[in-house]
A and B are shown apart, each in its own frame.
Chain A
Amino acid sequence: MSNAPHILVIDDELQIQRAIRTILTEKGFNVSVASRGEEGLTLAATNEPDIVILDLGLPDMDGVEVCTRLREWTQCPIIILSVRDSERDKVEALDKGADDYLTKPFGIEELLARVRVALRHSANRQGTQSKIVKAGDITIDLAWHSVKRGEEDIKLTATEYKLLAYLAANHGRVLTHQSILTNVWDPADADHTEYLRVYMRQLRKKLELDPESPQVIITEPGIGYRFIADD
């Protein structure tokens, strides 16, 4: 079991701890658990986990703060857990370096899916990142700036391509409106969500089979977007 990925869970609710620990252990992961932020930071430093699952509502410190302090020295994926109606906290944690989020209550399938994405992501970070991203019949070559459906080129404008490339390079991760606007446009445009809405709609029309139920670029309402690549 020593080669199994190590997951650190930081959550003060005992029932949640128990449920997550049981299921993740069952699935073959090594699991360690902390109930407080400080304890979690210490465990993270000693155990060097592959993934951190972090609840934003901790008794001793702000979850966003834990996120910031983890990011000072580790790039390991952080999945945040939070209750509904705390979009602002989620966005803040994501902007501070968290990779993904889950809203309580969540199904265990959702949790396992996020863990899988996170593991793949941390593997990508360690090795050389693939320059080719595939999603269904869409192939994006980040080195050659080409986007194809099957063998056929999809014509994109410069901004549409920049937007797609940023999302595809970070596939699996939730990207906040602000981080997309900052990276694709300019930090000064971080509030112009309308740019994002308009270009995303154009992009989806060219990319998605059914733009109304997108499969490649998913909307995370109130938060941002996520690019879903093939496994």
Chain B
Amino acid sequence: MVTAILFPMREYMETALVALLYLIPLGLITAYFGLGPGITSALATFLTFNYFFIQPYYRLAVHRPADVVILVIFLVVAIVISQLVGRMQAGLAAATAREREATRLYELSTALAGLHDRHTIADILAKQVLEVSHAEAVEIHITGADSFVHRLPPDLKTVRPPEWILPIQVAQGVLGEIQLWRAEPVLTSGEKRLLQTFASQGALALERARLAKAESRARVLEESDRLKSAILSSVSHELRTPLSTIKAAASSLRSNQVSWESAARPELIAAIDDEADHLNMLVGNLLDMSRIESGVLKPKREWNILPEIVGSVLGRMRRMAGERRIEVDVPEGLPLVPVDYVQMEQVFTNLLSNSIKYAPEKSVIRVRAFLEDELVHVIVQNQGPHIPQEHLERIFDKFFRLTDSDRVTGTGLGLSICKGIIEAHGGKLWAENVTDGLAFNFTFPRAWEGMPPPQMPMDTENE
């Protein structure tokens, strides 16, 4: 093009001026297309210049010695310019690439900072790797106790093996690997370096997550260990009391210290029998408690008749109630309730026996049940002593006793089992002081998701 512009003017211009004008496009070419094209066009320009502008025209020959000097200088200058501009360009490109790398890395490390969930870490890592590597698919394989594979894009199926696999590792070992599928199988050294840095960032994040988890697990273990030893010391005390009675009674019967006719004999035998029952109840309660605490106490929900449950519990407790009167107001008209029969019986048994234990003789214990919007509300109320406000919640704690534990027999677990059962039924249990005593309240939903409402089949008169 330069040739075309300058060609008509060649007769009026100095050869040196033409040479200088030729250098302008040369510099631009090098700047835009790099060192290689720059040098090639320097040589091409040299030839064109010689061919069109140096006499004799249209031949690669030189007549005037001055022209030879101009030509040589032109060639040298052209090559030097090309090289300088080219090198500068390359340096700039490298600097930009490095800056981009640094930005990526910064983004990744900020995204990973403070993460403790391995799946989220894998997801972020996969996204970033996919973006920088221009791959078709990325899989992050996390090995270890609960290994998993995170895949991006999630629904793309690749049949061929991955082109690249990078280990994710820390000093202690390999935590997983990054697998890459991409059509361009060669990674530039920059890409390789970046991916490796990503892998090590990912490894650090995963390691951090592992340590955080281990730490919180250690804390939980320590806590539950403390609780367990507290329970254990309580339990051994509770177990030893009936055992002592049994041992004392049995050994005195065996040692002939009690004569066959003695009136103490049937009493000792009764004590053994009663305390064995007590021991059995205690073991049963402990079992229930451990099932509640480990979350395996799942109510077997069926449509039950609340008055029937209450009635059957009362039938068994009348004797224990002694001279305390139990008044029941649980209407027949209540709808069927979605509860576990056995567990609900236990709730009433424990609440009533607690009321009987603490309420004075000849007092009245009231059991009431009614609907309250979508809830069934039950109140078991006695005329026993008030409980200090600050202890109203604590009475549902395991082994919590307001009184000296020797005065009232029990397991110290009854109320916490009730609470566990009611909560497993999606309900609430609480105690409150009322004018003339203490009231246990509990509510639970009258319908349960996934349980179709009860239906009754047709019936006819018996023939």
Q: Give bound CA distance, A80 to B340, whole Å.
A: 24
A156, A160, A194: which contacts B303 (Cβ < 8 A)?
A194
A85, A157, A194, A211: which contacts B462 (Cβ < 8 A)?
A157
Determine whether A19 belongs to the interface, using a CB cutoff of 8 Å to chain B: no
Contact between chains at B462 and A197 (CB < 8 Å): no
Interface residues of B in 426-463 (CB under 8 A from A): 454-457, 459-463
Interface residues of A in 116-172 (CB under 8 A from B): 145, 155-161
Which residues does chain B contribute within 8 Å of A159, judged by CB atoms? 457, 459
Interface string of B314-351 (1 = CB under 8 A from A): 11001000000000000000001000011001000000
Determine whether A38 belongs to the interface, using a CB cutoff of 8 Å to chain B: no
Contact between chains at A193 and B303 (CB < 8 Å): yes
Name the residue of chain B whose CB is nearest to the CB of A205.
Answer: B332
Which residues does chain A contribute within 8 Å of B372, judged by CB atoms? none
Interface string of A194-231 (1 = CB under 8 A from B): 11011101000000001111100001011000000000
How near does chain B come to A101, taking the closest CB pair, in angstroms? 15
- Given A194-B302, A201-B305 in contact, is the A145-B456 Cβ separation under 8 Å? no
Determine whether B258 belongs to the interface, using a CB cutoff of 8 Å to chain A: no
Which residues does chain A contribute within 8 Å of B303, judged by CB atoms? 193-194, 197
Interface string of B370-402 (1 = CB under 8 A from A): 000000000000000000000000000000000
Q: Give bound CA distance, A160 to B461, whole Å.
A: 9
Q: Give bound CA distance, A10 to B49, whole Å.
A: 115
Contact between chains at A84 and B287 (CB < 8 Å): yes
Determine whether A87 belongs to the interface, using a CB cutoff of 8 Å to chain B: yes
Name the residue of chain A whose CB is nearest to the CB of B302.
Answer: A193
Interface size for B (C-beta < 8 A) is: 30
Contact between chains at B280 and A105 (CB < 8 Å): yes
Determine whether A29 belongs to the interface, using a CB cutoff of 8 Å to chain B: no
Q: Give bound CA distance, A195 to B457, whole Å.
A: 8
Q: Give bound CA distance, A87 to B299, whole Å.
A: 13
Determine whether B120 belongs to the interface, using a CB cutoff of 8 Å to chain A: no
Name the residue of chain B whose CB is nearest to the CB of A219.
Answer: B312
Contact between chains at B461 and A185 (CB < 8 Å): no
B287, B300, B462: which contacts A156 (Cβ < 8 A)?
B462
How near does chain A come to B319, taking the closest CB pair, in angstroms? 11
How near does chain A come to B451, taking the closest CB pair, in angstroms? 10
Interface string of B277-291 (1 = CB under 8 A from A): 000100010010001
Contact between chains at A158 and B287 (CB < 8 Å): no
Contact between chains at B276 and A197 (CB < 8 Å): no
Contact between chains at A212 and B342 (CB < 8 Å): no
Nearest 9 Cβ contacts at the A-B interface = A213-B315, A194-B303, A212-B311, A222-B342, A194-B454, A161-B462, A193-B302, A159-B459, A157-B459
Question: In the complex, given contacts A84-B287, A185-B457, what are 4 additional A-B residue pairs having Cβ atoms less than 8 angstroms apart?
Answer: A192-B455, A197-B303, A197-B305, A212-B311
Complex A-B: 30 CB contacts under 8 Å? A84-B287, A85-B287, A87-B342, A105-B276, A156-B462, A157-B462, A158-B459, A158-B460, A158-B462, A160-B459, A161-B462, A185-B457, A193-B303, A194-B302, A194-B304, A194-B454, A194-B455, A195-B456, A197-B303, A197-B305, A197-B336, A201-B305, A201-B308, A210-B315, A213-B311, A219-B312, A221-B312, A221-B341, A221-B345, A222-B342
